[in-house]
C-alpha cells in the first residue's frame, strides 16, 4: 500500500536536511583545516563523512521502498569491484540510475569514493550537491572550450587518489525519454547510423577525453546497462518516498582500458559500438524477457544504511526534544510560525531535489547536423 508522499517527505526531509547540513559543516571544516595540510588525509576522512549522508538514500532504496536491484556480472569482475579504479559508463534509463550506482558502490565498499561527471547546476542543490562538490565530483558547463579544461584538470587530480574510485559518465548526455529517442532516431537515419530503439546516441567527446587522460592509471571500464521491466512503472524518487517497490536490472561488463584503441576516432567508435550492443541487449530483453547471459550475483541488503539512519534519528530526535522546551518554541505564536515556516522550507527543498531527478526536467536533446562537429557535453 502506497504511503501519501507528504507523510513521508516531511519526516524524511527533516532527517535528511538536518543531518546533511551537519555533514556539510564537517566537510567545510575538514576542507579548510585538513586539505591544505594533507589532501590524502582529507580524502580519506571525507569518504567516511560523505557516506554518513549518502547512506540515507541507500536506506530509502533498501529498507523504505524495498527496491530490488538485480546485478548481472561475471564472478571475476564482481570480486574486483571496489578494489580498482574504474571508469563507469551507463545508459541513462531511469530517474534513479545514480541511486542504483550508489547502491552498487556501497555494496562494493566504495560509496564515498564514487564520483561522477555532471552538469554544473547539480552542485547548487541543497545538501546533496554541496556534498558532491566537497567529494570532487566534476561539474561541466556544456561548453567544450571550458569543459575540456575542467575535465583535464579533474583527471590530473585523480592520479593520486588514495583509494579505489569509480568515475561515472553518462555518455548519452541526458536521460532517456521517448521524445528524445525520436530526435536521436531522426538524426541517426539522416546520417546512415544504426537507428537506436532503447538508447540515445552517445556523445563521445567526454568519453574520449576520459580514456585518453586516465588510461595510464585507471585499469578498467565498467560497461553498465540498466533496464526496468515494462510491466511496472519506472522507479522515481517520488515513488520511493511513497514506499512503492520496483525491480531494476543492471548488467556490468568489465573491459580492460588497454583493449581500447589509441586514437581519438577509434575510442569514439568503440563507445558507439558499445551502445549498439546495449541497444540489442535491451531489445532482446523487452521482446523476449531475457536480460543477460552474465551470472546473477547476490548483493544482499547490508544493515549499515539502516544503522546510520537510526543513529541520525536518535541524535536529531534527542536534539529537537531538548531544544523545543529550552527555546519555548511552541509556547508563542512567533515560535509556532517559525516552526511551520521551517517545515514548509523542508518540503520545498525536498520538492526541488525530487524535481531535479525527473526525466521530463532533464536536458532536452537537440541534435542537428552541426552537432556532429561541435558537440556539447551535457552530463546529468
- Per the confidence metrics, is the pTM higher than 0.85? yes
pLDDT, tens digit, 9 for 90 and up, residues 82-114: 999 999 999 998 889 999 999 999 999 999 999
Residue 48 contacts residue 112 (beta carbons within 8 Å): yes
Higher pLDDT among residues 116 and 351, named by residue:
116
pLDDT, tens digit, 9 for 90 and up, residues 197-211: 999 999 999 999 999
Give the Cα separation of 351 and 305 in Å (integer): 23
H/E stretch holding 350 reads helix 333-356
The cell for 345 is 522550507
Q: Has residue 136 got a pLDDT over 70? A: yes
Residue 17 contacts residue 127 (beta carbons within 8 Å): yes
Q: Has residue 373 got a pLDDT over 80? A: no
The CA-atom distances, in angstroms, between 218 and each of 40, 140, 155, 359 are 18, 21, 10, 31
End-to-end CA distance of the chain: 32
Give the Cα separation of 244 and 233 in Å (integer): 10
pLDDT, tens digit, 9 for 90 and up, residues 13-62: 999 999 999 999 999 999 999 999 999 999 999 999 999 999 999 999 99
Give the Cα separation of 312 and 58 in Å (integer): 14
* Cβ neighbours, 10 Å, residue 77: 18
Q: Has residue 376 got a pLDDT over 60? A: no
Q: Model confidence at 2, in pLDDT bands (50, 70, 90)?
A: low
In the chain, what are the helix, strand and coil shares in percent, each to the nearest 5? 55, 10, 30
pLDDT, tens digit, 9 for 90 and up, residues 241-299: 999 999 999 999 999 999 999 999 999 999 999 999 999 999 999 999 999 999 999 99
Q: Model confidence at 378, in pLDDT bands (50, 70, 90)?
A: very low
Q: Has residue 370 got a pLDDT over 50? A: no
Q: Has residue 377 got a pLDDT over 60? A: no
pLDDT of residue 337: 87
pLDDT of residue 177: 87
DSSP state of 289: S
> E strands within 28-181?
68-72, 86-90, 114-119, 138-140, 166-169
Higher pLDDT among residues 326 and 125, named by residue:
125
Q: Model confidence at 364, in pLDDT bands (50, 70, 90)?
A: low
pLDDT, tens digit, 9 for 90 and up, residues 150-184: 999 999 999 999 999 999 999 998 888 889 999 99
Q: Which of 174, 8, 168, 172 lies closest to 95, judged by CA?
A: 174
CA angle in degrees (0–180, nearest 5) for 19-25-27: 105
Q: Model confidence at 372, in pLDDT bands (50, 70, 90)?
A: very low
Higher pLDDT among residues 360 and 325, named by residue:
325
Amino acid at each position: 500500500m502506497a504511503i501519501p508522499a507528504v507523510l513521508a517527505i516531511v519526516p524524511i526531509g527533516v532527517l535528511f536536511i538536518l543531518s546533511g547540513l551537519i555533514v556539510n559543516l564537517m566537510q567545510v571544516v575538514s576542507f579548510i583545516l585538513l586539505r591544505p595540510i594533507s589532501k590524502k588525509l582529507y580524502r580519506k576522512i571525507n569518504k567516511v563523512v560523505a557516506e554518513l549522508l549518502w547512506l540515507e538514500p541507500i536506506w530509502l532504496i533498501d529498507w523504505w521502498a524495498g527496491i530490488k536491484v538485480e546485478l548481472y556480472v561475471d564472478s571475476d569482475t564482481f570480486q574486483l569491484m571496489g578494489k580498482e579504479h574504474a571508469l563507469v559508463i551507463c545508459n541513462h534509463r531511469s530517474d534513479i540510475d545514480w541511486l542504483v550506482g550508489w547502491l552498487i558502490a556501497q555494496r562494493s565498499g566504495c560509496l564515498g569514493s564514487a564520483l561522477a561527471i555532471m552538469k554544473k547546476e547539480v552542485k547548487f542543490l541543497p545538501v546533496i550537491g554541496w556534498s558532491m562538490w566537497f567529494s570532487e565530483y566534476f561539474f561541466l558547463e556544456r561548453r567544450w572550450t571550458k569543459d575540456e579544461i575542467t575535465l583535464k584538470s579533474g583527471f590530473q587530480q585523480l592520479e593520486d587518489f588514495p583509494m579505489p574510485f569509480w568515475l561515472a559518465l553518462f555518455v548519452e548526455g541526458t536521460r532517456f525519454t521517448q521524445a528524445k529517442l525520436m530526435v536521436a532516431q531522426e538524426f541517426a537515419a539522416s546520417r546512415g547510423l544504426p537507428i537506436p530503439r532503447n538508447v540515445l546516441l552517445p556523445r563521445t567527446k567526454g568519453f574520449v577525453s576520459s580514456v585518453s587522460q586516465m588510461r595510464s592509471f585507471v585499469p578498467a571500464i565498467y560497461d553498465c546497462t540498466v533496464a526496468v521491466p515494462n510491466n511496472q512503472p519506472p522507479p522515481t524518487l517520488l515513488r520511493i518516498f511513497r514506499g512503492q517497490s520496483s525491480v531494476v536490472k543492471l548488467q556490468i561488463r568489465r573491459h580492460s582500458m588497454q583493449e581500447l584503441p589509441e586514437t581519438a576516432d577509434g575510442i569514439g567508435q568503440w563507445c558507439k559500438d558499445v551502445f549498439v550492443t546495449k541497444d540489442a541487449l535491451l531489445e532482446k530483453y523487452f521482446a523476449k524477457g531475457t536480460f543477460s547471459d552474465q551470472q546473477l550475483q547476490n548483493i544482499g541488503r547490508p544493515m549499515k544504511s539502516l544503522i546510520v539512519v537510526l543513529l541520525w534519528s536518535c541524535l536529531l530526535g534527542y536534539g529537537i526534544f531538548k531544544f523545543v522546551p529550552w527555546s519555548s518554541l511552541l509556547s508563542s505564536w512567533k515560535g509556532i510560525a517559525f516552526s511551520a515556516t521551517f517545515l514548509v522550507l523542508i518540503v520545498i527543498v525536498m520538492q526541488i531535489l525530487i524535481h531535479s531527478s525527473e526525466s521530463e526536467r532533464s536536458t532536452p536533446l537537440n541534435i542537428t547536423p552541426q552537432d556532429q562537429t561541435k558537440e556539447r557535453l551535457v552530463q546529468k
